[in-house]
């Protein structure tokens, strides 16, 4: 599906995974969501056009590396990724937490306290690097798995104590795993973990297109339209929303 402000203009391919209400396929089989609306509003008064693809993360990274006009709607900026992509502006945020079962009653209020327990995340993710850098050791207090379904099944079966996750994916992952979200709680907020999500583009995106998108996104934040889009979708504002 194409969203166009002007015909015959360069087309930007916005990509994202299925994560309602941020980006998803609606009942009309069309891309929808808060950040889809944000991208449409960003390009509204430019000569650029856009198409949207809701696809798995593996395909997202493949497109970001192969398509010069590809832009991710919500890419987490990490030290490793910083030089791999072009960062066009902050789109949203995803606070990271250590999550446990509510039945886990031990007092754990700091990441260092969690080193006495089994903490798990996805192998190859930036969260795994974060935990290793914090002193967690695989085979001792760090468990790495390949799929989030494994992660949550292990937590619910009490084979691990904590999962490092973020607010963006939590409910969707539990729903896809067929698990009751009422049984878990956000135990420790990891304020030091990268949380800003960006319009992240191919490293070779046209410079004029990149500049146009960045300036248009900043204008939305200055005029309040960015904030209005998030409010429409009943999403909290990033703490930096009025500073960008």
Whether the predicted pLDDT of 57 surpasses 70: yes
What is the residue-averaged pLDDT of the chain?
91
Mean pLDDT of 148-154: 93
Take residue 99 and report the two structure tokens written for it. Answer: 């999550």
> What pLDDT was estimated at residue 241?
46
3-state secondary structure of 206: coil
Mean pLDDT of 48-75: 95
Which range in 186-190, 193-197, 213-217 is most confidently predicted, on average pLDDT? 213-217
Instruction: Name the more confident of 3 and 141.
Output: 141
Cα 6 from Cα 210, distance rounded (Å): 17
Mean pLDDT of 210-238: 96
Whether the predicted pLDDT of 199 surpasses 90: yes
Distance of CA 62 to the CA centre of its chain: 17
Q: In the structure, what pLDDT confidence band is assigned to residue 5 with cuts at 50, 70 and 90?
A: very low
Contact, 169 vs 197, CB < 8 A?
A: no
- Tens digits of residue pLDDT in 9-27: 689 999 999 888 999 999 9
> What pLDDT was estimated at residue 26?
96
Angle at 186 between CA 242 and CA 199, to 5 degrees: 40
| Residue % of the chain over a pLDDT of 70 | 94
Whether the predicted pLDDT of 158 surpasses 70: yes
At 3, which helix (H) or strand (E)?
strand 2-4
> What pLDDT was estimated at residue 189?
93
Mean pLDDT of 170-179: 87
Mean pLDDT of 142-152: 93
Mean pLDDT of 192-221: 96
Mean pLDDT of 55-71: 93
Which domains occur in the chain, in start order?
2-94+196-232 (3.40.190.10), 96-189 (3.40.190.10)
Residue of 177, 158, 157 whose CA lies nearest to 169:
177
Take residue 217 and report the two structure tokens written for it. Answer: 């996104």
Whether the predicted pLDDT of 107 surpasses 80: yes
Is pTM beyond 0.95? Reply is no
Contact, 220 vs 226, CB < 8 A?
A: yes
């Amino acid at each position: 599906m194409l969203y166009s402000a002007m015909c015959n203009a360069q087309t930007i391919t916005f990509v994202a995974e299925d994560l309602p209400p941020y980006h998803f396929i609606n009942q009309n089989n069309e891309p929808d969501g808060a950040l889809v609306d944000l991208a449409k509003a960003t390009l509204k008064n430019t000569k650029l056009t856009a198409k949207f693809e809701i696809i798995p993360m593996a395909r997202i990274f493949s497109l970001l590396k192969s398509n010069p006009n590809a832009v991710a709607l919500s890419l987490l900026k990490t030290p490793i990724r910083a030089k791999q992509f072009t960062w066009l502006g902050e789109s949203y945020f995803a606070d990271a937490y250590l999550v446990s079962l509510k039945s886990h009653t031990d007092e754990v209020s700091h990441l260092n306290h969690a080193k006495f327990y089994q903490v798990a995340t996805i192998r190859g993710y930036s969260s795994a690097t974060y935990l290793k850098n914090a002193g967690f050791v695989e085979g001792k207090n760090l468990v790495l798995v390949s799929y989030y379904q494994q992660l949550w099944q292990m937590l619910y079966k009490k084979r691990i104590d904590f999962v490092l996750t973020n607010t963006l994916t939590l409910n969707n992952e539990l729903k896809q795993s067929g698990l009751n979200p009422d049984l878990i709680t956000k135990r420790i907020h990891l304020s030091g973990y990268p949380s800003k999500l960006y319009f992240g583009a191919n490293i070779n995106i046209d410079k004029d297109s990149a500049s146009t998108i960045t300036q248009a996104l900043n204008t939305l934040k200055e005029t309040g339209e960015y904030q209005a889009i998030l409010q429409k979708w009943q999403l909290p504002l990033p703490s930096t929303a009025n500073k960008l």
